[in-house]
Amino acid sequence: MKITGGFLKNRLIRAPKGSHIRPTSARVRESFYNIYRTRVTSANFLDLFAGSGVMGIEALSRGAQSATFIENDPSALRTIRNNLRELNILPLATIYAGSVLTWLKKLRGQTFNLIYIDPPYHTNLHVHTLKLIDQSHLLAEGGMLFVEGRRMQELNFNQLNIRDKRKIGDTFLYQFDKRGR
């Protein structure tokens, strides 16, 4: 895979071996970053179900201040570390190994400007993840949260508000922000 923009544009990164990890396509990444590019600069980016780390690496390439990666798969974790090391951006990253749901509980008190959720499509992990984020205040005031996946049902939250839904190929990208007080 190639980085699609920023100071690392066209640099190659590896994807984890095996068919159980589905990296975000270049088309989805380009669409996301073309639309939300001004939000990335100086952001604290949280990449959940990080896989290869491509979304967080793209964010760092495009000016994010930091990227936090949470991933459960050992092969994917090795790939993220190797990609960050090879691109000389490891000092800008924090990597947590284990369950996203467990780590979200441990991250209470921290905030992120951009949160990207890309769970396995065949699960309901996006619902549980959104509920935890809604309860934990991880999304900073003025921040945005995105869920990549298949079509999902309407969900109601205390703090999160669905703002936009886009179809990019056969992938949906849902945008959330915090409700006004």
Q: Give yes or no for residue 19 having a pLDDT over 60.
A: no
DSSP state string for 55-75: HHHHHHHTT-SEEEEEE--HH
Q: How far apart are CA 14 and CA 17, in angstroms?
A: 9
Q: Cβ(138)–Cβ(110) under 8 Å?
A: yes
Please name the fold of domain 26-178. Rossmann fold (3.40.50)
Q: What angle do CA 96, 99, 105 make, to 5 degrees?
A: 80
Query: What does the pLDDT read at residue 180?
Result: 60
* Percentage of the chain lying above the pLDDT 70 cut: 92
Higher per-residue pLDDT: 90 or 28:
90
Beta-carbon contacts of 42 under 8 Å, excluding residues fewer than 6 positions away, are 63, 64, 65, 113
Residues β-bridged to residue 115: 46, 145
Query: What does the pLDDT read at residue 162?
Result: 87
Amino acid residing at 136: S
Across the chain, what does the average pLDDT equal? Answer: 88
Residue-wise pLDDT for 73-127, tens only, equals 999 999 999 999 999 999 999 999 999 999 999 998 899 999 999 987 777 788 8
Query: What does the pLDDT read at residue 92?
Result: 97
Q: Using CB atoms within 10 Å of the CB of residue 141, give its burial: 0 to 12 exposed, 13 to 18 middle, 19+ buried.
A: exposed
| 3-class secondary-structure state, position 125 | helix
Residue 116's nearest CA partner among 52, 73, 20, 180 is 52
Q: How far apart are CA 179 and CA 181, in angstroms?
A: 6
Q: Cβ(28)–Cβ(173) under 8 Å?
A: yes
| 3-class secondary-structure state, position 28 | helix
Residue-wise pLDDT for 152-173, tens only, equals 666 778 888 888 888 888 888 8
